[in-house]
Amino acid sequence: MPTSQTWSYMYRSHIYRSHISMPTY
């Protein structure tokens, strides 16, 4: 069973990837 730490890590990594994919202004 995944812990909150794992979920937070996955969430952050997902945001990090989307952030890189999209251009920032």
Q: What pLDDT score was predicted for residue 19? A: 65
Residue 3 exposure: Cα atoms within 13 Å on the Cβ side: 1
- Amino acid (1-letter code) at residue 10: M
CA-CA distance, 2 to 7, in Å (whole number)?
7
What are the tens digits of pLDDT across the range 1-25? Answer: 567 888 778 778 777 776 666 665 5
